[in-house]
Copies of this chain bind each other. A is one copy, B any other.
Amino acid sequence: MSDKLKGQTISFQNPPLIVNSASIVGPEEGQGPLGDKFDLICDDVKCGKNTWEKGEKKMVSDIIKLTLDRASVSSSDLDFIIGGDLLNQIVTSNYVARDLGIPFLGVYGACSTIIEALSIGAILMDGGYADAVLSFTSSHYQTAERQFRTPLEYGDQYTSCNQQTVTGAGAYLLGWLGGQVRITHSTIGKVIDLGATSPTNMGGAMAPAAADTIIQHFLDLGRGPQDYDLILTGDLGRVGRNILNSLLEENNIVTGEKLQDCGALIFGDNKKFGAGGSGCAASATVLSSTFIPQIISGKINRLLIVGTGALFSPLTVQQKESIPCIAHGIVIEGV
């Protein structure tokens, strides 16, 4: 058995640094409680383009450029770029990769995508296959609603467990020099499906996958909540986070205030957004904007972030299938 893998968890022997990262969000996210923490806020959700999809792509391009510029890294210095998004055929990521012209690995883990992309990036770095990797993702309320549920123009009413897809993007540059935080472990999740079928309660569907990955992570490393300053999930929202909390307590894992969820944080308690935010950008923007700075400032030292993805497809929902979910985790520490 490999000494780098225990159970589902990889321990990096040469943990790569997150040299730089940056986040961009739409106007509603910018008006939320984390508004002053994001690097860029778009005035309109089309970012000056003529379609929502082109606006989403522009957000990703802009935030990658900022991430690289701040680190004085040129895109041609990158060995690999790794990304994915919610749109069919991960088309935002494909077009961004076209413009960058760097070897590209497209990944899909629904809203867990950034953690999958960071895990593969960290493997490429730790394994000696790369010296510079960029991982990125995006999501967008308008593009996601019309693809996954109903176009906004239909005016569907929401339920209290609804979540609003976060409009935004995040980019993370992995390297060996200049960063103040590093990725030390990755736990790759299994697909978990307890039979949830409602496309309006993703948080409830995803909570069991998050619980499975967190429990497995603790088991693999012989750790528990006491070893972390923060356990951060991606986009369970308030409803899903409470379910996760119950599932962990059933397994005698008491997290208390250490358990936070990016989707529950990004819009605060504003009822307009139901149970909170969702989407790939929830974890990608909140980690970069809010929690990596807390590691750098020394407020927290070590966090486990668990990206949560509902592998939901409109087609299979129509065919009466339940919604399989997945959660991948990485550990980020101060240097």
Contact = CB atoms under 8 A, between A and B. Distances in A.
A291 interface: no
- Copies of the polypeptide in the assembly: 2
B319 A89 contact: no
Given A88-B315, A101-B190, 7 more contacts: A10-B129, A90-B108, A94-B311, A98-B192, A104-B190, A104-B191, A127-B127
Contacts of A1: 131
A28 interface: no
Contacts of A270: none
Which of the listed residues A116, A127, A312 has the most CB atoms from chain B within 10 Å of its own CB? A127
Interface residues of A, number: 59
Nearest to A120: B120
B127 A79 contact: no
Contact of A88 (B53, B104, B188, B313): B313
A39 interface: no
A105 interface: yes
A265 interface: no
Interface string A315-334: 11001010010100000000
A10 B128 CA distance: 10
Given A5-B129, A116-B106, A123-B127, A95 B316 contact: yes
Contact of A123 (B53, B124, B326): B124
A37 interface: no
A16 to B, nearest CB: 12
A54 interface: yes
Nearest to A9: B103
Interface in A56-91: 79-80, 84, 87-91
Given A116-B105, A188-B105, A324-B94, A89 B5 contact: no
A8 B319 contact: no
17 contacts: A2-B131, A8-B103, A53-B315, A88-B314, A89-B312, A90-B108, A94-B324, A94-B326, A95-B324, A97-B191, A98-B324, A101-B190, A101-B191, A103-B190, A104-B191, A105-B107, A105-B109
In the complex, the 10 A-B pairs of residues with the closest C-beta atoms, listed nearest first: A127-B127, A103-B188, A94-B311, A98-B191, A89-B313, A91-B313, A97-B191, A98-B324, A106-B108, A88-B88
